[in-house]
Structure 1
Amino acid sequence: MQKGRVPGFKRERIELEPCSICAGKAVVKGLFYELVCTGCNGSGWVVWGSKLVLSSDELVTQLSFKLQHAQRQIAALKGLPLMSEPQSQYERSNRLGAGGTNYTGD
């Protein structure tokens, strides 16, 4: 038996794109009121390229992966450390002191 990756241990990341019918809004405009989009089953997301609709449990998992990735990107762009160190409050200005100066609470 050959060693290698065993399928099923990690969830596959599926690339998603906004639905082309509702433009990612999950609803379409009816004559008098908004209707649930039938192209994406009211989620606003479809599989990239194939336009397939995911089941609700798979969609929740994939959207969670997408959210976690976006949160990591935001943290990287802000330049904030993931773990706050005690000296970090001395190095950055928090503008809480008199005249907008740094206040450390000492």
Structure 2
Amino acid sequence: MIPKRHGPAKRLEVIDLAACPDCAGQGWTRGIFHDIKCNTCGASGMVSKESGEALPAEVLVLQLRLRLNQRDRRLAQLESQQNSKGGPHQDYIGMKNPAGIGGGNWTGD
């Protein structure tokens, strides 16, 4: 039987992430002759904030995707609020410069 991966039975929780304390979120540490992959975080630079353990790659990708979706929704919300305010630039939308391309924008004031 194939496990259900979407719908009401599958609810993803947002796990709090923190920078790895050993590599300071870099994913690598400096060795004597070369850089070494961080063993604490598995070279991802992120660990679980609660336990301090590295997350499996599949879980980490899902967590980062959840955060990206949240940021996209917030950005769209802020852009819609900004566009609805209007302002001086609204007076010039759809108008062409009668002086042509590169002509002045002197209004006679």
The answer on 1:39 being equivalent to 2:40 is yes
3-state DSSP class of the match of 1:17? strand
Q: What amino acid is aligned across from residue 47 of structure 1 in structure 2?
A: S
Q: What amino acid is aligned across from residue 91 of structure 1 in structure 2?
A: G
The structural deviation recorded for 1:72 is 4.1
Q: Identify the match of residue 91 of structure 1 among 78, 82, 86.
A: 86
The structural deviation recorded for 1:49 is 2.1
Q: What amino acid is aligned across from residue 56 of structure 2 in structure 1?
A: S
What do the CA deviations read for 1:78-106 (whole angstroms, capped 9, x no partner)?
A: x4217x6xxx5x92455xxxxxx964133
Q: What amino acid is aligned across from residue 15 of structure 1 in structure 2?
A: D
- Cα 1:102–1:68 shift into 2, 3 Å: same
Which one has the largest radius of gyration?
A: 2
**TM-score, normalisation: structure 2:** 0.63
The equivalent residue for 2:49 is 48
Unmatched 5+ stretches in structure 1: 1-6, 95-100
Q: Write out aligned runs for 1:2-41 (5 A).
A: 8-41=9-42
Cα distance in 2, alignment partners of residues 54 and 8 from structure 1: 22
Q: What amino acid is aligned across from residue 40 of structure 1 in structure 2?
A: C
Unmatched 5+ stretches in structure 2: 1-7, 96-109
Number of residues of Structure 1 aligned to a counterpart in Structure 2:
87
Root-mean-square deviation (CA, aligned residues, Å) is 2.8
Percent of aligned pairs with the same amino acid: 31
